[in-house]
Amino acid sequence: MKASNLKGQTAVVTGASRGIGRAVAVMLAREGANIAFNYLHSQKQAQELEKELTQSGVKARGSCVDVKDFGAVKEWIGSVKEEFGSLDILINNAGITTDKPLVMMSEEEWRTVLATNLDGVFNAARSCIFTFLKQKSGSIINISSVSGVFGLPGQSNYSASKGGVNAFTKALAKEVAAYGVRVNAVAPGFIETEILAGLTEEKREDILKEIPLGRIGSTDEVASCVKFLLSSRADYITGQVIHIDGGLAMR
């Protein structure tokens, strides 16, 4: 990847119908990348996003695909490559939370979070990696979380999944570096998304006390980091987990 502008490249973004994934898809489209994204439940939001992306003058297609299903993901990625004519970028963003103390957590709540957040990353990366290795170029960015860095109570399933994503990122980066393929992760802290929308003012104030910069981050700030990691300015960066958290996870 020799230019900061992504014009003509094809980016696959999982879970892009809202939140961080949506912000990433919009920002990459503005940089000229064609966008293929998936959604699971938010069809209306996906259709609105597809329309917005095409207004940037790029090709965009949203598909209803469950990232937990390896066969479905493989088929989807194959169809993207055939329709768009290339495959250059993978943003693994799809993820869910079912926060609960372990003593109250069901087996299904554990397995569904791991299957979505960790298996989903494997499914998409595995479906893209052969193409990246063959063409000796490509970039994978996994959207992780500071919860996978230091763990949060009530998030044993989520923390485990994101900790796995961080380790996966570093291991895969070492495997594919010799082929010119880069793999990084972005680990957001508290970001203004639907997840935080329902917080009480008191809870929000408690959160702010834990953040050295004293504010909650925006989805655009996460997307800007992703854009940087895809640019030529980041050509020498791989295997990194970059915290975007206002200093929350500082050591």
Active site residues: 158
CA distance linking residue 160 with residue 113, whole number of Å? 9
Q: Cα dist. 231→85, 142, 204 in Å?
A: 21, 16, 34
DSSP strand E in 103-247: where? 138-143, 181-188, 241-244
Q: Can you tell me whether residue 250 is helix, strand or coil?
A: coil
The answer to whether 124 touches 12, Cβ cutoff 8 Å, is yes
Q: Which residues pair with 39 in a beta bridge?
A: 64
CA distance linking residue 176 with residue 130, whole number of Å? 10
CA distance linking residue 77 with residue 69, whole number of Å? 12
Residues in the chain: 251
CA distance linking residue 23 with residue 186, whole number of Å? 14
CA distance linking residue 114 with residue 16, whole number of Å? 19
Residue type, 40: L
The answer to whether 94 touches 116, Cβ cutoff 8 Å, is yes
